Amino acid sequence: MSRQTKTLPGRNRIRLDRKGFTLIEMAIGLAMAAVAMVYTYNMIIDGMKYQKKAVQLANAVHLAKIKMAQVDSSTMMQADSSKGEIPGYPGYRFLTEIKEEEMDLLKLAGGPNAEELKKKAPKDMLGDKDVGLNDLMKKRGKSKTFETGGILKVFRVRVEVTFPEDKNKNSSYVVETFRSTKY
């Protein structure tokens, strides 16, 4: 705020005191306020978008957990695939895939050095003394899971929940697990 004193020319010198802001000061102040308001409104709009995305993703995670629990609660597991809409959640769809696979435990544990580990591995997990027991277990179960680094038959369970993110864009949440073929 500036205070200006002006003296008028002539014999009678009258002194005028002006109080207030100049036009330039007002323009600068309004421009600064406008910039701050635009920035604040953009932050609020972004926050609302992120909140919407968080709610959509939380719903997708919740629905994927429910689908996975449904698969896990089944008494008999078999290779299958199913898909469909999710009631009560417009635009949300699910895809459930169950595939039977063989998994090499030693390769899984050893990563790139799996072949070297396989050469150093003992005959079975119980040691060389119990090779007969291991053979008996293999005959009964018809699997190689008792050997160190053996092949394990599993079901790969994959649940994908697709949800609308924007008007023309969909996103998806995928959860995957393994389940033993023998209970």
**What is the per-residue pLDDT for 148?**
47
CA distance 39 to 33: 10
**What is the per-residue pLDDT for 126?**
46
Whether 18 contacts 25, CB under 8 Å: no
- Biggest CA pair distance of the chain: 129
Rg (CA), the chain: 36
Strands (E), the chain: 2-7, 15-20, 80-85, 93-104, 151-164, 170-180
CA distance 63 to 160: 10
∠ CA 134-182-103, rounded to 5°: 75
pLDDT in tens, the chain (183 residues): 555 555 556 666 655 666 788 999 999 999 999 999 999 999 999 999 999 999 999 999 999 999 999 988 887 888 899 999 999 999 999 999 999 988 877 667 666 666 666 666 555 454 554 455 556 555 655 555 444 456 788 899 999 999 998 888 999 999 999 888 765
Residue written as tokens 């949800």? 163
CA distance 72 to 59: 20
Whether 92 contacts 161, CB under 8 Å: yes
**What is the per-residue pLDDT for 179?**
86
